[in-house]
């Protein structure tokens, strides 16, 4: 690993603090996938050391719609903390250039000790949203850049929990101020978001941070993300999962 993990983590932290987009790290550093995850971990550890608590895992680029939008071609993951949880409103003035996307959300009910048991550990499913805020200029990055940047994670939220069920083909609709802006199906998420859930369990176990009771798993957006302006009212609806709303 040749990258200076601490220095790169500090650069990303400064972008968040100053609400200013930075050139992508790979412009100036030799960053491979492993060192990119080390940078991600360092940023998250600094946040947990300053009092935030881990709240779950987010999967990224689990649909072709997202891979095409962002020009990358591999599944990635990041970590969620309680400070990212938005309950019904997001103050976008604290963000650089936020975007919002619909998510399928799993609630973990007990510790996941193996990938095989993860589905039996799910306590609930919901429709939700993720607010992304790449710390990079113009939301442009390579795979190591976006991994280091915790998969662009900024905020997330979810609607009411429903009993676990087959989500292999649930319709999804995202509306802003009453206008439909994205439609899709959960089938776009690796064919079935349950696959993304299993990948989350595998990655979390492999990293020594198994999915814990109360944690959230965001399976990844089935559609492209859209810019999230101030003064917006966003509603995400999932077939059989009702709706969740968020205002900015
Ligand atoms: C990276 C985050 C991808 C998803 O659901 O696919 C992601 C980005 O698009 O900036 O969260
Ligand atoms: Mg997402």
User: Ligand 2 centroid vs 57 CA: distance in angstroms?
Assistant: 10
Q: Which atom of ligand 1 is nearest to the CA of 103?
A: 5
Q: Which atom of ligand 1 is nearest to the CA of 225?
A: 9
Q: 49: left (phi > 0), else alpha (psi -120 to 50), else beta?
A: alpha
- Strands, E, within 22-178: which ranges? 54-60, 76-81, 99-108, 122-132, 153-158, 171-176
Q: Which atom of ligand 1 is nearest to the CA of 220?
A: 5
Q: Supply the pLDDT for residue 113.
A: 96
**Are the CB atoms for 133 and 17 separated by under 8 Å?**
no
Q: From CA 242, how far away is CA 161, in angstroms rounded?
A: 10
Residue 97 phi, psi (nearest 5)? -155, 70
Query: Region 221-233: what's the mean pLDDT?
Result: 97
Q: Which residues lie closer than 8 Å to 67 by C-beta, 6 or more apart?
A: 61, 73
**Are the CB atoms for 14 and 150 separated by under 8 Å?**
no
Q: Which ligand is nearest to the CA of 151?
A: 1
Q: Which residues lie closer than 8 Å to 140 by C-beta, 6 or more apart?
A: 24
Q: From CA 194, how far away is CA 23, in angstroms rounded?
A: 35
- Minimum CA distance residue for ligand 1 atom 9: 70
How many residues are present in the chain? Answer: 248
1 pLDDT higher than 70 = no
Q: From CA 232, how far away is CA 22, in angstroms rounded?
A: 26
Q: Is there an atom of ligand 1 within 6 Å of 40 CB?
A: no
Please give the helix or strand (H or E) that residue 94 lies within, else none.
none
Q: How confident is the model at residue 2 (pLDDT cuts 50, 70, 90)?
A: low
Q: What is the mean pLDDT of the chain?
A: 97
Q: Supply the pLDDT for residue 73.
A: 85
43 pLDDT higher than 80 = yes
Query: Region 54-72: what's the mean pLDDT?
Result: 94
Q: Which atom of ligand 1 is nearest to the CA of 139?
A: 10
Q: Which ligand is nearest to the CA of 142?
A: 1
Q: Supply the pLDDT for residue 87.
A: 85
Q: From CA 55, how far away is CA 81, in angstroms rounded?
A: 5
Q: Is the dihedral of CA 214, 217, 223, 228 positive or negative?
A: positive
User: Ligand 1 centroid vs 131 CA: distance in angstroms?
Assistant: 9
Say whether domain 5-247 belongs to CATH 3.40.50.150: no
Question: What are the domain boundaries of the chain?
Answer: 5-247
Mutation test of ligand 1: which of 84, 129, 151, 216 has the most ligand atoms closer than 8 Å to its C-beta? 151
Q: What radius of gyration, in Å, describes the C-alpha atoms of the chain?
A: 17
Whose CA is closest to 71, among 174, 169, 145, 13? 145
Q: Distance between the two ends of the chain, CA-based, in angstroms?
A: 41
Q: Is there an atom of ligand 1 within 6 Å of 223 CB?
A: no
21 pLDDT higher than 80 = yes
Per residue in 168-202, pLDDT tens?
999 999 999 999 999 999 999 999 999 999 999 99
- Minimum CA distance residue for ligand 1 atom 11: 60
Q: What percentage of residues in the chain have a pLDDT greater than 90?
A: 98
Query: Region 53-79: what's the mean pLDDT?
Result: 94
pTM over 0.95: yes
- Minimum CA distance residue for ligand 1 atom 7: 60
3 pLDDT higher than 90 = no
* Count of Cβ atoms closer than 10 Å to residue 155 Cβ: 25
**Are the CB atoms for 149 and 136 separated by under 8 Å?**
yes
Q: Is there an atom of ligand 1 within 6 Å of 29 CB?
A: no
Q: Supply the pLDDT for residue 147.
A: 98
User: Ligand 2 centroid vs 96 CA: distance in angstroms?
Assistant: 17
19 pLDDT higher than 80 = yes
Q: Is there an atom of ligand 1 within 6 Å of 131 CB?
A: no
105 pLDDT higher than 60 = yes
Q: How confident is the model at residue 102 (pLDDT cuts 50, 70, 90)?
A: very high
């Amino acid at each position: 690993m040749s990258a200076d993990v601490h220095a790169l983590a500090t650069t990303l932290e400064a972008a968040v603090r100053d609400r200013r987009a930075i050139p992508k790290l790979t412009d100036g550093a030799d960053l491979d996938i492993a060192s990119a995850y080390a940078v991600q971990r360092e940023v998250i550890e600094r946040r947990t050391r300053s009092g935030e608590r881990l709240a779950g895992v987010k999967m990224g680029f689990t649909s072709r719609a997202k891979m095409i939008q962002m020009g990358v071609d591999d599944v990635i993951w990041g970590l969620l903390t309680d400070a990212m949880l938005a309950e019904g409103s997001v103050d976008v003035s604290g963000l650089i250039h936020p975007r919002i996307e619909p998510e399928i959300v799993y609630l973990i009910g007990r510790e996941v000790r193996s990938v095989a048991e993860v589905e039996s550990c799910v306590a609930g499913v919901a429709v939700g949203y993720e607010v992304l805020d790449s710390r990079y200029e113009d939301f442009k990055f390579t795979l190591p850049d976006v991994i280091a940047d915790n998969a662009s994670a900024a905020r997330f939220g979810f609607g009411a929990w429903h009993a676990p069920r087959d989500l292999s083909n649930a319709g999804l609709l995202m509306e802003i101020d009453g206008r439909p802006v994205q439609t899709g199906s959960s089938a776009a998420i690796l064919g079935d978001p349950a696959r993304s859930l299993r990948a989350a369990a595998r990655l979390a176990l492999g990293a020594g941070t198994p999915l814990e009771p109360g944690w959230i798993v965001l399976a990844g957006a089935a559609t492209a993300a859209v810019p999230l302006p101030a003064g917006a009212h966003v509603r995400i609806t999932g077939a059989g999962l009702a709706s969740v709303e968020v205002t900015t």
